[in-house]
Amino acid sequence: MSQTVARPARAQPAAHGARTATRARRRRPSPGRVLAFILATVWLVVVIAPIYYMVLASLRSQGTYLTANPWLPRGGLTLAEYGTVFGAGLGRYLLNSVILTAVCIVLTLSLCLGAAFRIVRRSTRAAGVTFRILLLGLAIPIQAIIVPLYLLVYKLHLYNTLFALMLVMSAAAVPVSVLIMVSFVRDIPRELIGAVLVDGGSEWTVFRRLIVPLSRPVLATLAIYDGLNVWNNFILPLVLTQSNNVAVLPLGLTKLEGLYSINVPAIMAAVLLSVLPLVILFVMLRKQVMRSLGSVAIR
Amino acid sequence: MPSSRKGLADLAGLVPAMVLFGVFIAVPMLGALALSFFRWNGLGTPTWAGGANWVQFVHDPLARQALEVTAKVVVLSWIVQTPISIALGLFTAGRQRYRSVYAALFVLPLLLSTAGIALMWEALLDPEFGGITALGNSLHLGFLQQNWLGDPALTIYVLIALIAWQFIPFHTLLYQMGRRQIPAVLFEAALLDGASHAQLFWRVTLPQLRYTIVTSSTLIIVGSLTYFDIIYIMTNGGPGYTTRVVSLDMYQTAFQQNEFGYASVLAVVLGVVGVAVALGLVRYSGFGSMTSQQEGAA
C-alpha cells in the first residue's frame, strides 16, 4: 500500500484512492514536502561538511594545513600524519577499546538474558522485585554516581584497570538490556517452554535449547546498542583510569590532543582512525544498526 | 519438587546480573546520598558534616549559576532538537530510494565518539586557522569570523548547537521508526474525509507520534541535564563560568578541588532531578500503558 499523504479526488471510489493519490503526488508536491526536502538537504550539508573537512585536514601536512584552503583538495595531500598518531599510541588505545567492548558485550548479554528469562518465568517474588528495581535503575544518570563509583573502584584496588571499566560499563548496561530482553522473551510462546518441560527438560534446558537460540535477534540488537555505548563512553574512562596503557579510544584522543595541540592533521587522522572500525561495521550491517538504535529507545 | 528447583534457577539467573548492578550502580547511588552529609578530601577519614554541604549548596552562587546554565542547555536542546528531528524523521520515513540514502548519511555522527566530535569541531571553530573562518574568508561572510569558543556571550549557544549536531541523528531515527508504525489506513481515512496536508500532520501524524515524542523528549531532557563530555573537552566550563553545567561543577568539585562531600550534593541533585523528570514524563503522558501498543515492534 502506498504511504502517500496526497489528496485523492473526492469522487473516486475508495479502492482507487491510493493509486490516484500516488499520481497526484508526482504532479504537485505539497508545500510540506518541499520544505522537508529543503530542510533535509541543508541538514545533509551540516552533517557531511564537517566530516569532509576532517578527512581533508587529516590528509595535510602541518604546513599545508595552515597555508592551503582547507575546503579544497588542492596543494599536496599525504597520509603521513596517520603514521604519526599510530606511532604515538593510538594502536594501543584501539586495542584497549576492542577488548573492553567485546568483554562488555559478552558479559552484559549473557548475564542479562539469564535474568530476563527468570523475570519472565517469574516463579518467585524476587523476580518481580528485581524487575521493578531495574525500571528505577533505568532512570539513574551515570554522572550522578560517578563520585562514589570512583571511591568504590579505588577501594577495590581496581583503579586504573580495564577490568574496572568492564565491570562498571556492563553494570550500567544491565537495566536497559534486561528490560528489552524481558519484552522480547515474554513473546516466546509458553507452549514451547511447556513442551520442553514435559519432555523432562529442566529450566536450564529450556534456557539453553529454547531461549538462547530464539533470542538471537534481540541479542544482535543489544550487542550493537550496548557496544556503541561502551565504545564511545568518555566519562567513565576519564574518572576510573589514568595511564596511557589502559586508555581507551575516546580518552586516548584527548591525550593525543594534549600531545599534538598544534598538529591539527594528526588529531584529525586520529579521530578518523578511531571511527574506522565502526564505519566498516556500519557499512556491513547498516540496516541492522539503524533498526537496533531505534528499537531500543522505542521500547 | 519443581518449585525449589525453580527457586534455584531464579537464583542462578538473577543473582549475577543483580550483583553487578547492585555493586556498581545501586551502592554508589546510596553512597552519593550518604557522602553528601560528610566532609572528605578523598584521603584520611570522612568527617560528619550534618547538613553543612546542603546549606553551602543553597548559598553557593557558582552552583546557582551552574543550575541556570544547565536549565538553558536543557530547554534550548529540546527546542532545537525536537522539531528538526520530527521533520527529518518524517522525511526519512518515506520509502523513496534517495530518502534511504539521506537516512544512511544522517546516521554518521552517531558513529563518532563524543571526544571525536569535540576534536573535529575544535579544529573547525578555531578563530585563526579553523575551517569556519576559512569559509568566511573565501565567501566574504564576515560574521563567520567569531571567537566561537571564547566569547562569553556566544560559547554556550555554540555548545548547544554541537550537542544538537551529535544527537539529532538519533532522534531522527526514533521519529522515522515512529512514523513507519502509523497504520496507513489512518491517513487514507483522513484523506477520504477531505483532510488537507496540514490537517493530516496536526490531526493524524503528530497525535500518532505521541509516544515517540515522550520517549525522545525524555531522552533529550535527561541527557542534556547531565551532559558532560563535549563541554568538558571543549571549554571546561569557560569562558569564565558561562558554560559550567552542574555535571561539570560536580566533576571539578570532586576531582580537582577534592571536595567529595560537596560534590556528592551536586550528584544527588542531578540524580533526583533526572529520575523525577523521567518518571514524571512517563506518568504524565500515560507512557506506562504503552507496552501492548508497541508489542512486536522490535
Determine the residue of chain B that is closest to A97 in CA distance: B113
C-alpha cell at A159: 583503579
| pLDDT score recorded for residue A16 | 44
CB-CB under 8 Å, B113 with A234: yes
| pLDDT score recorded for residue A43 | 94
Q: What is the mean pLDDT of each run of 10 residues along chain A (299 residues)?
A: 39 43 54 83 94 90 79 80 82 93 94 89 74 80 88 91 94 89 85 85 85 87 87 92 91 85 86 88 78 66
CB-CB under 8 Å, B222 with A275: no
Separation between Cα atoms, residue B99 and residue A154, nearest integer Å: 50
Which chain A residues are within 8 Å of B123, Cβ to Cβ? 53-54, 57, 264, 267-268
Task: Supply the pTM of this predicted model.
Answer: 0.85
Positions of E strands within chain A: none
Separation between Cα atoms, residue B293 and residue B296, nearest integer Å: 9
Residue-level pLDDT, tens digit, chain B, 298 residues: 455 666 777 778 888 888 999 899 989 988 889 888 988 887 778 888 888 889 888 889 999 999 999 999 999 999 999 999 999 998 988 888 888 888 888 988 988 889 999 999 998 998 888 888 888 888 888 778 888 888 888 999 999 999 999 999 999 988 988 888 888 888 889 888 888 888 888 988 888 888 888 888 888 998 898 889 999 999 988 788 899 999 999 999 999 988 898 999 999 999 888 888 888 877 766 544 434 333 333 3
On whether the CB atoms of residues B126 and B133 are closer than 8 A, the answer is yes
Which chain A residues are within 8 Å of B129, Cβ to Cβ? 65-66, 264
Q: Which of B20, B108, B178 sits opposite A51 (nearest CB)?
A: B108
Concatenate the DSSP letters of all residues of A1-51 into one string: -----PPPPTTS-HHHHHHHHHHHHHHS--HHHHHHHHHHHHHHHHHHHHH
User: Using the 8-state DSSP alphabet, how is residue B293 labeled?
Assistant: T
CA angle, B266 then A169 then B238, to 5°: 40
Residues in chain A: 299
Which amino acid is it at A230? Answer: V
On whether the CB atoms of residues B152 and B265 are closer than 8 A, the answer is no
Which chain B residues are within 8 Å of A7, Cβ to Cβ? 191, 194-197
Distance to chain B for A201, nearest Cα, Å: 12
Separation between Cα atoms, residue A56 and residue A65, nearest integer Å: 9
| pLDDT score recorded for residue A6 | 40
Q: Which of A1, A291, A297 sits opposite B184 (nearest CB)?
A: A1
On whether the CB atoms of residues A107 and A166 are closer than 8 A, the answer is yes
Determine the residue of chain A that is closest to B209 in CA distance: A298
On whether the CB atoms of residues B11 and B17 are closer than 8 A, the answer is no
Determine the residue of chain A that is closest to B268 in CA distance: A144
On whether the CB atoms of residues A250 and A232 are closer than 8 A, the answer is yes
Q: Which of B173, B200, B219 sits opposite A290 (nearest CB)?
A: B173
CB-CB under 8 Å, B200 with A69: no
Q: Which of A147, A151, A236 to mutate to test the interface with B (most CBs of B within 10 A)?
A: A147
Distance to chain B for A43, nearest Cα, Å: 8
Q: If you count residue pairs, one on A and one on B, with CB atoms under 8 Å apart, how many are there?
A: 335
Single out the residue of B289, B279, B94, B273 nearest to residue B211, CA to CA: B289
Which amino acid is it at A274? Answer: S
Q: Which of B90, B188, B258, B294 to mutate to test the interface with A (most CBs of A within 10 A)?
A: B188
pLDDT tens digit sequence for A98-124: 999 999 999 999 999 988 888 888 766
Largest CA distance in chain A: 78
On whether the CB atoms of residues B84 and B166 are closer than 8 A, the answer is no
Which chain A residues are within 8 Å of B165, Cβ to Cβ? 46-47, 50
Largest CA distance in chain B: 83
Which chain B residues are within 8 Å of A31, Cβ to Cβ? 197
| pLDDT score recorded for residue A215 | 87
Distance to chain A for B153, nearest Cα, Å: 23
Distance to chain B for A298, nearest Cα, Å: 7
Distance to chain A for B293, nearest Cα, Å: 10
On whether the CB atoms of residues B174 and B85 are closer than 8 A, the answer is yes
Which ipTM value was assigned to this complex?
A: 0.85
| pLDDT score recorded for residue A202 | 83
Strands B47-48 and B38-39: antiparallel
Determine the residue of chain B that is closest to A268 in CA distance: B120
